[in-house]
Structure 1
């Protein structure tokens, strides 16, 4: 305020222009800082959203089942083929079971890889132990890892902890649906349609033959 001079019009204009420039610089710096902070916050929010979304998908994969077989079979496809029985019916049943177990194991392995990438320290410790057991050929349980994921996701979404009176049974990996039966049904349906088309073509050929025979029986008028 001491440097302001309003003794003349020139001095007053100079003072006003200086104040305007100073104010514009201050506003510009403030807007730049706010924009930088906002972009950083949006980037962090996107990262958090992607992290929570990935961990939620892993949670559904590892804990989507409450009944049945809650362990993950680590047997590989080559070992399943070696153990396959010799009977035809037994082979089909064993193939369907092994295919289902293989799908579950592959889904669990992918979920464990995501957890090792984006999980917390506790998640990485549990997922690393589970991955080591799978690599060593030992069946694994995912219930403890599922509980840890559930607590973290609820906390990240600002949800309260699970009530103490809620009893949750042990959770296991989601059971996948095999596509062998559906593919066989589609193949049978396609075969039936193809057979119907062949019969229709045969009927058309028979009609043409009858017309030809009938035409041979007709005697032209000039022939008599």
Structure 2
């Protein structure tokens, strides 16, 4: 306050201008700090959301099945072809199921790659072990990795932990669906049936028009 001079109008003007400049500098610094903190927080939120989205997709891929074959078959297409060329008795059956198992294996490999990129230390350790088993040609189970992912995702979303008395069966990779061709066929059949109905309706309208023309020409009325 001792630097403020209001004894003359020049001193008062200088004091007011100095206070205004000081206030503007303080407000500008505060706004700049708030914008920096907000941008950093938004960037962190985007990173967390992207990480959770990727891990949730990996969880659905690795643990989308509770029944059936819960292991991942590491057999590659070249192995099936080699068995077929060597005349193995089970080559026909293996070739029939190789396409489906190959799609499951490819999806599991992509999920393991995402986990190795964005997972925690425990996730990376389990995913690396599973990837090593796949590369060595050994079938793998994904149940333990699925449990670890589920626990992390529920904690990150601030959800209650799973009850201890709840018994959840082992989970395996999601089975691929192959009903696209049948759905298209059904759709085509429905379109044909619809076209047939339209033809029948057109025939009925033509008969009605012919009857009206007959009455107009002087024919007997019904």
Normalised by the size of structure 1, how large is the TM-score? 0.76
1:115 Cα deviation after fit: 0.3
- Name the structure 2 match of 1:119: 119
1:38-90 Cα deviation digits (max 9, x unpaired): 00000000000000000000000000000000000000001122334979xx8
Say if 2:133 is the partner of 1:138: no
Q: Partners of 1:177 and 1:82 in 2: how far apart?
A: 27
**Corresponding residue pairs, total:** 184
- Name the structure 1 match of 2:107: 107
Q: Partners of 2:138 and 2:178 in 1: how far apart?
A: 24
Moved over 4 A (4+): 84-87
In terms of mean alpha carbon deviation, does 1-10 or 19-28 score higher? Answer: 1-10
Say if 2:163 is the partner of 1:163: yes
- Name the structure 1 match of 2:198: none
- Name the structure 2 match of 1:31: 31
Q: Partners of 1:140 and 1:75 in 2: how far apart?
A: 12
CA contact (8 A) 1:62 1:174 kept: yes
- Name the structure 1 match of 2:61: 61
1:135 Cα deviation after fit: 0.2
Q: Partners of 1:103 and 1:133 in 2: how far apart?
A: 18
Q: Partners of 2:178 and 2:73 in 1: how far apart?
A: 16
Shift of the 68–84 alpha-carbon distance from structure 1 to 2, 3 Å rule, reads: farther
Q: Where in structure 2 are there 5+ consecutive unaligned residues?
A: 193-222
- Name the structure 2 match of 1:209: none
1:9 Cα deviation after fit: 1.2
Q: Partners of 1:175 and 1:5 in 2: how far apart?
A: 83
Q: Quote the RMSD (CA, aligned, Å).
A: 2.4
Q: Partners of 1:9 and 1:163 in 2: how far apart?
A: 76
Q: Partners of 1:84 and 1:52 in 2: how far apart?
A: 43
- Name the structure 1 match of 2:181: 182
Q: Partners of 1:67 and 1:80 in 2: how far apart?
A: 25
CA contact (8 A) 1:74 1:139 kept: yes
SS of 2:116 mapped into structure 1: helix
Normalised by the size of structure 2, how large is the TM-score? 0.77
- Name the structure 2 match of 1:152: 152
